[in-house]
């Protein structure tokens, strides 16, 4: 498969994402309403349901790939998509717990074109509401009171732990001069792969599938996550700020050792060496914060020249292929398999 290939039926993927959002959002909102004030308001702000003054808004609430996956996952196990709803909501809650905490730890001031929670409501609320969403996720599932819900909670907890491991790695890598491509992939697998793995299997687990099916669906989701993250890393440097809602050269400004950077540094050759020397100097620079657009553009050009951009593009396609291979090992209705494949295609060609 090639990104941009006509096999990607964008209309179809939009419908899947829309269905995930439509079926899960009311349940998500009801769950968030259970939070004690002011946490309910802070969470509603984070999800883009209200603005900083408490007025209802219709802000961009993200792509909703995870809820879509959770519902498709229930269908993969022969159940109605609705069976996956509590899983979709629980995964979204854990995802947003990690966004709230990560934005605070990373000092990120913007997300989805809006000020982050810690910026608007302060660090304590960001910590607290993150904690509350994480606990709520388990509560939602365990309230179902079934053996399947217990299994789903266990898988979600494992994903939650990996998210935390990934964030720990991300933070520690920022202080290191060199990070290997393998370390970067491991970190991204933890930060992005683990929860998409859980999303892709949780509906089937709730529908009572066997462990092998759940594991294979997790494998699909994990590699989909790595493809997703490779694309995210490309967008973090070369993305259109209008589309991504992030600053230009966003990841470079944060000195992120993302895949294109790490791959460019590992490539060797003159551009790679010049990049390495520049980034090493940047790490010690006291006026990094006042760098101009041109300075970041120079670094981006070196990353591209050293092959980091092309390598990351190819990596997205490699991970995509592994995801599809895992999918093909699970017995499921052909229509559902096609939907999983279309979603994987979408992840690789997206612009935001």
Of the residues 24, 25, 73, 169, which one makes contact with a second copy according to CB under 8 A: 169
Nearest Cα to Cα of residue 20 among 348, 347, 350, 343 = 343
Pull the structure tokens for residue 28. Answer: 């998500």
**Ranges within 229-258 binding a second copy (CB under 8 A):** none
Output 38 or 241, the one with its CB closest to a second copy.
Answer: 38
Instruction: Choose one: 133-141, 197-205, 238-246, 292-300; the region binding a second copy (CB under 8 A).
Output: 133-141
Q: Least separation, in Å, of the C-beta of 219 and a second copy?
A: 21
Is 36 a binder of a second copy (CB under 8 A)?
yes
Q: Least separation, in Å, of the C-beta of 148 and a second copy?
A: 10
Is 138 a binder of a second copy (CB under 8 A)?
yes
Cα separation, 232 vs 227, in Å, equals 9
Per residue, what are the HEC states of the chain? CCCCCCCCCHHHHHHHHHHHHHHHHHHHHHHHHCCCCCHHHHHHHHCCCECCCCCECCCCCCCCHHHHHHHHHHHHCCCCHHHHHHHHHHHHHHHHHHHHHHHHHHCCCEECCEECHHHHHCHHHHHHHHHHHHHHHHHHHHCCCCHHHHHHHHHHHHHHHHHHHHHHHHHHHHCCCCCCHHHHHHHHHHHHHHHHHHHHHHHHHHCCCCHHHHHHHHHHHHHHHHHHHHHHHHHHHHCCHHHHCCCCCHHHHCCCCCHHHHHHHHHCCHHHHHHHHHHHHHHHCCCHHHCCHHHHHHHHHHHHHCCHHHHHHHHHHHHHHHHHHHHCCCCCCHHHHHHHHHHHHHHHHCCC
Q: Per-residue contact track with a second copy, 256 to 285, x per CB under 8 A?
A: ------------------------------
Is 180 a binder of a second copy (CB under 8 A)?
no
Of the residues 76, 136, 202, 205, which one makes contact with a second copy according to CB under 8 A: 136
Q: Least separation, in Å, of the C-beta of 135 and a second copy?
A: 5
Q: Least separation, in Å, of the C-beta of 50 and a second copy?
A: 18
Is 104 a binder of a second copy (CB under 8 A)?
yes
Q: Least separation, in Å, of the C-beta of 156 and a second copy?
A: 9
Q: Least separation, in Å, of the C-beta of 159 and a second copy?
A: 9
Cα separation, 189 vs 223, in Å, equals 8
Residue 247 near residue 110 (C-beta atoms within 8 A) = yes
Is 181 a binder of a second copy (CB under 8 A)?
no
Cα separation, 154 vs 147, in Å, equals 11
Of the residues 4, 26, 54, 150, which one makes contact with a second copy according to CB under 8 A: 150
Is 128 a binder of a second copy (CB under 8 A)?
yes
Q: Least separation, in Å, of the C-beta of 140 and a second copy?
A: 9
Cα separation, 241 vs 279, in Å, equals 23
Is 143 a binder of a second copy (CB under 8 A)?
yes
Is 297 a binder of a second copy (CB under 8 A)?
no
Of the residues 110, 158, 298, 313, which one makes contact with a second copy according to CB under 8 A: 158
Q: Per-residue contact track with a second copy, 65 to 94, x per CB under 8 A?
A: ------------------------------
**What is the distance, to the nearest Å, from the Cα of residue 285 to the centroid of all Cα atoms in its chain?**
31
Of the residues 2, 26, 30, 154, which one makes contact with a second copy according to CB under 8 A: 154
Q: Least separation, in Å, of the C-beta of 42 and a second copy?
A: 9
Is 54 a binder of a second copy (CB under 8 A)?
no
Residues found near a second copy in the complex (CB under 8 A):
36-39, 97, 101, 104-105, 123-124, 127-128, 130-132, 134-136, 138-139, 142-143, 145, 147, 149-150, 153-154, 157-158, 160-161, 164-165, 167-169, 171-172
């Amino acid at each position: 498969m090639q990104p941009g290939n006509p096999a990607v039926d964008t209309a179809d993927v939009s419908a899947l994402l829309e269905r995930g959002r439509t079926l899960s959002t009311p349940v998500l909102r009801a769950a968030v309403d259970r939070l004690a004030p002011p946490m309910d308001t802070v969470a509603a702000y984070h999800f883009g349901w209200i603005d900083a003054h408490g007025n209802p808004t219709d802000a961009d609430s993200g792509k909703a790939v995870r809820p879509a996956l959770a519902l498709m996952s229930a269908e993969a196990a022969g159940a109605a998509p609705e069976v996956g709803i509590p899983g979709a909501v629980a995964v979204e809650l854990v995802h947003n717990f990690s966004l709230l905490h990560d934005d605070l730890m990373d000092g990120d001031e913007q997300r989805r074109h809006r000020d982050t929670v810690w910026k608007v409501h302060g660090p304590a609320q960001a910590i607290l509401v993150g904690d509350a969403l994480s606990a709520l996720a388990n509560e939602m599932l365990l309230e179902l009171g079934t053996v399947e819900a217990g299994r789903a909670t266990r898988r979600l907890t494992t994903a939650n732990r990996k998210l935390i491991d990934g964030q720990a790695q991300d933070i520690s890598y920022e202080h290191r001069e060199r990070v290997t491509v393998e370390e970067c992939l491991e970190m991204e697998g933890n930060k992005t792969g683990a929860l998409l793995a859980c999303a892709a299997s949780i509906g089937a687990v709730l529908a009572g599938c066997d462990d092998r099916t759940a594991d294979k669906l997790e494998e699909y989701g994990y590699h989909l996550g790595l493809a997703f993250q490779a694309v995210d890393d490309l967008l973090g440097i070369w993305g259109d700020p209008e589309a991504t809602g992030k600053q230009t050269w966003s990841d470079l400004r944060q000195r992120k050792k993302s895949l294109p950077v790490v791959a460019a540094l590992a490539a060797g050759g003159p551009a790679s060496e010049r990049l390495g020397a520049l980034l090493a100097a940047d790490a010690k620079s006291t006026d990094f914060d006042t760098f101009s657009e041109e300075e970041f553009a120079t670094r981006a050009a070196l990353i591209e020249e050293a092959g980091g951009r092309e390598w990351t593009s190819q990596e997205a396609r490699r991970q995509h292929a592994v995801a599809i291979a895992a999918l093909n090992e699970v017995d499921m209705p052909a229509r559902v398999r096609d939907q999983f494949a279309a979603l994987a295609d979408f992840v690789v060609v997206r612009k935001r």
